[in-house]
Amino acid sequence: TGLVVAMDGPSGSGKSSVSRGVARALGLRYLDTGAMYRAMTWWMLREGVDLADPAAIAARSGEPVIVAATDPDAPAIHVDGVDVGGPIREAEVTGAVSAVAAVPEVRARLVALQREVVGAGGIVVEGRDIGSVVCPDAPVKIYLTASAEARARRRSAELAGTTVEAQQEALARRDTLDSTRKTDPLSMADGAIELDTTAFSLDEVIAEVLRLVKE
C-alpha cells in the first residue's frame, strides 16, 4: 500500500502550501479536508439551515454530494456538481465553518468520505484530526505550528481588504472553537512530529518534511 502523510495544525500554519509541495515532490495525491468542511458549510448556508442549531445541521448533513479532486497542482471541490473553490474561502463560510465542523454527524460523514479518498494511500492529507482520527496508522505525522502573529500575517497577505489585527482575532476565535469542541478537537496526535514554521520559509519547511518522510 502507498504512503500516507498526515498533516495537522491550526489555521495559517502552512498545511495547504506544505502539503501540496510535499505531494508534488513525491508524486503523491493531496487531500484538503478543511475544504470538505467548508463545502458542507457553504451548502448549509445556501439551504438556509440554522447554524445555531446542531440538530438541524445533523439532520441535513447526509444530503450534499461533496467531491474533492486530489491533484496537488489542481485541487478542486464540488458540491452537488457546483465548483465551490472560490466561495468556500470567503468570510461568510470561514466564520461559520467551526460550528458546522463541531457537529458529530458532520464529522462522521466527512471522515468516512476522507477514508474512501485515502483508500490504499499514496497521499498527503491535511486537516485537524488526520493523525488522530482519519489516518491514525499513517507512518508520517506532522503537526505544523507558527506564532499567532505569523499565521495572521500570512493570512492577511493572502486576503485583500483585511488587517493583520483582524486576522489574528478571527484565527484566535477559530483556534479556540477547533481545540475545545467535544468531538475530535484539534490536538497533536500520538507519534506526531511538531514543526514550528515561524522562522522558516515555505521551501525550508517542505525540505524538512521530505527529510522526515525519507527517514
Binding residues for ligand ADP, rule CB under 6 A, total: 15
**Does the footprint of ligand ADP cover residue 154 (CB under 6 A)?**
yes
Whether 137 contacts 190, CB under 8 Å: no
**Does the footprint of ligand CDP cover residue 37 (CB under 6 A)?**
yes
Of residues 78-137, which lie at the interface with ligand ADP (CB under 6 A)? none
CB of 35 to ligand CDP, least distance (A): 6
Query: Tell me, what amino acid is at 13?
Result: S
**Does the footprint of ligand ADP cover residue 158 (CB under 6 A)?**
yes
**Does the footprint of ligand CDP cover residue 54 (CB under 6 A)?**
no
**Does the footprint of ligand ADP cover residue 205 (CB under 6 A)?**
yes
Closest to 192 in 3D by CA, of 149, 145, 122, 123? 145
**Does the footprint of ligand CDP cover residue 167 (CB under 6 A)?**
no
CA distances for 50 relative to 39, 43, 79, angstroms: 16, 12, 19
Contacting residues for 194 by C-beta, under 8 A, at least 6 apart: 143, 144, 145, 188
Q: Which strands sit side by side in the sheet containing 82-83, from one edge to the other?
A: 66-69, 76-79, 82-83
CB of 9 to ligand CDP, least distance (A): 8
**Does the footprint of ligand CDP cover residue 156 (CB under 6 A)?**
no
Is 91 or 202 the residue whose CB approaches ligand ADP more closely? 202
Measure the CA–CA gap between 28 and 2, rounded to whole angstroms: 9
Q: Which contiguous run of DSSP H or E holds residue 150?
A: helix 148-158
**Does the footprint of ligand ADP cover residue 181 (CB under 6 A)?**
no
For the chain, the straight-line distance linking the first and the last C-alpha, in angstroms and rounded, comes to 18
**Does the footprint of ligand CDP cover residue 143 (CB under 6 A)?**
no
**Does the footprint of ligand ADP cover residue 147 (CB under 6 A)?**
no
Burial 189-201 (b: 16+ CB within 10 A, else e): beebbebebeeee
**Does the footprint of ligand CDP cover residue 174 (CB under 6 A)?**
yes
Query: Which residues form the interface with ligand ADP (CB under 6 A)?
Result: 9, 11-17, 154, 158, 197, 200-202, 205
Query: Which residues form the interface with ligand CDP (CB under 6 A)?
Result: 11, 33-35, 37-38, 97-98, 101, 127-129, 174, 178
